[in-house]
């Protein structure tokens, strides 16, 4: 049975074991600090960053 999609980035992080949670939290914190205006969402069951995304322009990180 496939894993359910997490409701939020915090829920995703809570489901990770401690070493992975610490690493992913550090990566997300870095991206949000270094790239103002970036938001995070869940897509394809994983956290994704969104910076100024419109239908034709912007950038994502996974």
Q: Kindly report the CATH class assigned to 9-61.
A: alpha beta
24 token code pair: 């992913």
What pLDDT is stored for residue 49 in this prediction? 83
Question: Residue ranges per domain, the chain?
Answer: 9-61
Tokens of 41: 């969402």
Q: Quick check: 58 pLDDT over 60? A: no
- Cβ distance 35 to 28 under 8 Å? no
What are the residues whose beta carbons fall under 8 Å from the beta carbon of 39, sequence distance 6 or more?
49, 50, 51
53, two tokens: 């995304």
Distance CA 14, CA 18 (A): 9
pLDDT reported for residue 24? 92
Structure confidence at residue 51 as a pLDDT band (50, 70, 90): confident
Beta-carbon contacts of 28 under 8 Å, excluding residues fewer than 6 positions away, are 9, 40, 47, 49
What is the structure's pLDDT at 52?
A: 72
pLDDT above 50: residue 56:
no
Q: pLDDT of 9-37, one tens digit each? A: 999 999 999 999 999 999 999 989 998 88
């Amino acid at each position: 049975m496939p894993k359910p999609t997490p409701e939020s980035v915090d829920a995703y992080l809570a489901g990770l074991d401690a070493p992975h949670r610490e690493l992913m939290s550090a990566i997300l914190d870095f991206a949000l600090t270094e790239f103002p205006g970036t938001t995070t969402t869940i897509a394809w069951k994983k956290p994704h960053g969104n910076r100024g995304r419109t239908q034709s322009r912007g950038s994502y990180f996974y």
